Chain A
């Protein structure tokens, strides 16, 4: 009984990641052939093999950059997701909070990161915290909005049923509203992971020493197309990994598929 199923399950979990890697490899190969076939100049589009070679020439630099940028994203994204869910719950329960603070959130989101980033550096310096704060700033809002939306999308009849069982508001939140909101929250998490990674990369443009954003900037400054593409490739790998991880978590947590009962 324990034999076949877990194996299939584990394979199923790895499958999307594997698929992503295969697709990426196929795309790189296609680009390589196109560049050769059309004799595209290296400063317009370098050959993927040259890009990979550049990464392999200084693997430690790219690895450190990925770890650093990944960590910034992870910290900020984690905090943003938790805060977003928490504040979404608070908003759904406390109307005055929703009416007073929500507009402030909306205004805050209209400030472009590029304007906000310099401030963050003044407040937090060149620490990893500064980047995490930028990622946090980009991630918490979509999560808040979708958490709130999800919790209000609950079937009123189900609420009534739970109330007829004598459930308190808190129990209704825990046993009904929150699980109902989960599929919506995961949609936001997917969006937020991409936003968060971009935020971390941009955050590194405000004076940092390591990270994919730094490599990207150095590449742009020297018009080193190979270096630019190398950091783009690393960002893509990181982004795909984040996206896949969230997809995996979603499959496990929201196993019922999200359509209301």
Chain B
């Protein structure tokens, strides 16, 4: 059941143009009753790429993620391609590793058993899955916490367990929906750096939602800015900053100029939401 990983042979996140995007969305729209959440999203993610998505609140980021995770079907006329195939969203269930905003750990499972939940659902051998999780614990900063239950863990730790669960579900595309949104600033910075380490080691393709521009630039190969609702891609910028990235990066002129550009775009969209015309 475990798919062989089809990572690009190059260690560089940069992609050759000839390569097929792992995820390709065109004119993707979604309407709930009267409300249009998404309106013509065009987005392509190359294998091994780390793409971050920022946008004003309520711009339909989560709807976008639910569709890519297979939990919602887009409106008719939308194009959804995954690994070169045109697919229905529901065909993506079990094909994408999805991490929602909250950790959503199961209270009655300890760290190890929470981490292996997706493998269990796949039908993997439980003992083997546990052994594998055990090996991965130190990397996720959870060494010695194997038998702890969620209520015994701090918020940052719980989030790491959730991330580990997402990593153990070995899928080429990972969707992370504001995984650090609820953490304090310090913990969040630690987690970001740590995520980059893990990502570079495991070489997965990541689509990462955040409302924090610093985070988006710090992590991403590419940053997408979404428009206010109905959501669409307003702006796409490559982040040509060297990896591995350190804490001093955020003070570099390149970082700051990119941040300014992105913030301007977001602010323009936020104004639409809060502007006198809308209310």
Contacts and interface: CB of A to CB of B under 8 A. Distances in A.
Is there any pair of Cβ atoms, one from A and one from B, under 8 angstroms apart in the complex?
A: yes
Interface of A: 155, 157-158, 160-167, 171, 175-176, 179, 182, 254-257, 259-261
Contacts of B96: 164
A3 B158 CA distance: 30
B160 to A, nearest CB: 15
Nearest to B162: A161
Nearest to B68: A164
B93 A157 contact: no
5 contacts: A163-B93, A164-B96, A254-B108, A256-B151, A261-B151
B148 to A, nearest CB: 12
Given A179-B106, A257-B151, A261-B150, A161 B121 contact: no
Given A164-B69, A261-B150, A158 B104 contact: yes
Contact of B100 (A161, A166, A175): A161
B208 interface: no
A179 B117 CA distance: 14
A163 B100 CA distance: 12
A163 B71 CA distance: 8
Nearest to B108: A179
A255 B151 CA distance: 10
B169 interface: yes
Query: Which residue among A158, A164, A171 has the maximum number of chain B CB atoms within 10 Å of its CB?
Result: A164
Contact of A261 (B70, B104, B120, B121): B104
Contacts of B199: none
Given A161-B98, A165-B94, A166-B93, A256 B107 contact: yes
B94 A166 contact: yes
B93 A155 contact: no
A260 B71 contact: no
A165 B169 contact: yes
Nearest to B99: A161
B57 interface: no
